[in-house]
């Protein structure tokens, strides 16, 4: 009989496997229909949506991405510290100190105010003016875009791009998407006539897939880069391949009798003799407590229900008769023995989006990468 130590040999308590070949495939898919001269920007902010910014960035660049997108100066510094030399654009707002760090990291910055533009000019930063075409967050209207463009054009190589962001590109009703695209198209045409080298970009993942008219000089894809559906439905219909697979293992199996409960709050009370698997992963690893008594997992390739309250470091699963034993793999999203749970399924249960499911996978979950390029 195998010992517990031999059964669990090589198991990680919580493991996120990231398929870098899936990242490369997704870059090639998203770049497939771009017009001549247009380039792909791989958005690797938030630690690559939980997948790992540096490994994902390397794989994306290997597959043809030309730019990298992040949200903070710290994220830009991480890419530079890893030796990545591709153009990096920081999308988010920054303090003066962060702007100085961004300039030292040779990162492009996004501008929507004259004071910030002047500070960027003084530091010699490359700038993209943000037009608020309807998102209603950061950005300025057409007239202020023109003013900022004139200001930045007074410095050497300071005016690099014009950008915007779509609010509803992932929704079935395209009315507002088309309104935003029309506004951006008109302004891009005008500014291109005045600044011929201007890089115009507004397409996110959903727009990149659905609307060639939105591609302009560059597309910026985040969620689709990771093989997840922009509309939170089925990534495979758009030719995408999910890159992350999250798993743990069965640490032990016990039988509870009718009337006995499992977990905090006694949210599961057995009505019949029941086999319960204890799995060493919990909400501190990114398994939302809201999946209590609702979410499914794959135990040795078979769907089983999370049963009882999800704890910080452990959860419990109801096993069918004769199925499941210590050491069996437990998959939270990904494939196992021909069965599949998508992040989109988990997101719908949580009434959220797939972005949140992968971003919530915590730093203490071990990342393991498959498909890394051979060392030079």
For residue range 20-70, list pLDDT tens digits in order: 999 999 999 999 999 999 999 999 999 999 999 999 999 999 999 999 999
**Which of 192, 264, 283, 369 is an active site residue?**
264
Encode pLDDT of 88-138 as tens digits. 999 999 999 999 999 999 999 999 999 999 999 999 999 999 999 999 999
Which position among 45, 249, 283, 355 bears the catalytic label? 45
For the question of residue 130 being annotated catalytic, the response is no
- CB neighbour class for 156 (10 Å; exposed up to 12, middle 13-18, buried from 19): exposed
Q: Where are the domains of the chain?
A: 4-15+244-370, 33-226
Q: Please provide residue 321's backbone torsions phi and psi, each rounded to the nearest 5 degrees.
A: -60, 135
pLDDT of residue 6: 47
- Check for a shared fold between 4-15+244-370 and 33-226: no
For the segment 246-262, what is each residue's pLDDT rounded down to a tens digit? 999 999 999 999 999 99
How far apart, in whole angstroms, are the C-alpha atoms of residue 128 and residue 162?
5
For residue 1, the model assigns a pLDDT of: 43
Give CA torsion, residues 302, 308, 312, 313, to 10 deg. Answer: -50
> Which residues on neighbouring strands pair with residue 336, listed in sequence order?
339
At 343, which helix (H) or strand (E)?
A: helix 343-350
Superfamily of domain covering 4-15+244-370: Lyase, Ornithine Decarboxylase; Chain A, domain 1 (2.40.37.10)
128-184 confidence digits (pLDDT tens): 999 999 999 999 999 999 999 999 999 888 999 999 999 999 999 999 999 999 999
For 228-244, give the DSSP string: --TTSS-GGGGT----E
8 A C-beta contact, residue 293 and residue 310: no
β-strand 274-279 against 88-90: which pairing, if any?
Answer: unpaired
Q: Is the pLDDT of residue 9 over 70?
A: no
264 carries an active-site annotation: yes
What is the model's pLDDT at position 372? Answer: 81
How does the average pLDDT of the chain come out, rounded? 95
Q: Tell me the C-alpha distance between 174 and 79, whole Å.
A: 36
Answer whether CATH 3.20.20.70 is correct for domain 33-226.
no
User: What's the whole-model pTM score?
Assistant: 0.95
């Amino acid at each position: 009989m195998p010992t517990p130590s031999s059964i669990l040999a090589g198991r990680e308590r919580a493991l996120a496997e990231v398929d870098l070949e899936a990242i490369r495939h997704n870059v090639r898919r998203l770049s497939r229909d771009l017009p001549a001269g247009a380039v792909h920007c791989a958005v690797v902010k938030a630690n690559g949506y939980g997948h790992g910014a540096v490994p994902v960035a390397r794989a994306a660049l290997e597959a043809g991405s030309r730019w990298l997108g992040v949200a903070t100066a710290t994220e830009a510094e991480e890419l530079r510290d890893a030796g990545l030399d591709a153009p990096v654009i920081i999308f988010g707002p920054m303090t003066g100190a962060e702007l100085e760090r961004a300039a030292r990291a040779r990162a492009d910055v996004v501008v929507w105010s004259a004071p910030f533009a002047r500070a960027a000019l003084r530091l010699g930063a490359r700038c993209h003016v943000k037009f608020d075409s309807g998102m209603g967050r950061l950005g300025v209207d057409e007239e202020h875009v023109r003013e900022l463009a004139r200001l930045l054009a007074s410095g050497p190589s300071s005016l690099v791009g014009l950008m915007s962001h779509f609010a509803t590109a992932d929704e079935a009703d395209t009315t507002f998407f088309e309104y935003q695209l029309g506004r951006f198209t008109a302004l891009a045409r005008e500014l291109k006539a005045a600044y011929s080298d201007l890089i115009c970009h507004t397409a996110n993942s959903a727009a990149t897939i659905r609307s060639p008219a939105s591609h302009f000089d560059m597309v910026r894809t985040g969620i689709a880069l990771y093989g997840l559906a922009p509309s939170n439905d089925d990534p495979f219909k758009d030719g995408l391949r999910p890159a992350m697979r999250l798993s743990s293992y069965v640490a032990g199996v016990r039988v509870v009798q009718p009337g006995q409960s499992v977990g905090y709050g006694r949210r599961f009370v057995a009505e019949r003799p029941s086999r319960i698997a204890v799995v060493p992963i919990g909400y501190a690893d990114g398994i939302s407590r809201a999946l209590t008594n609702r979410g499914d997992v794959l135990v040795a390739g078979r769907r089983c229900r999370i049963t009882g309250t999800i704890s910080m470091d452990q959860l419990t699963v109801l096993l069918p008769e004769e199925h499941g034993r210590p050491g069996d793999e437990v998959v939270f999203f990904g494939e196992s023995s021909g069965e599949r749970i998508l992040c989109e399924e988990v997101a719908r249960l949580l009434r959220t989006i797939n972005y949140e499911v992968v971003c919530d996978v915590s730093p203490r979950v071990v990342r393991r990468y498959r498909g890394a390029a051979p060392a030079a």
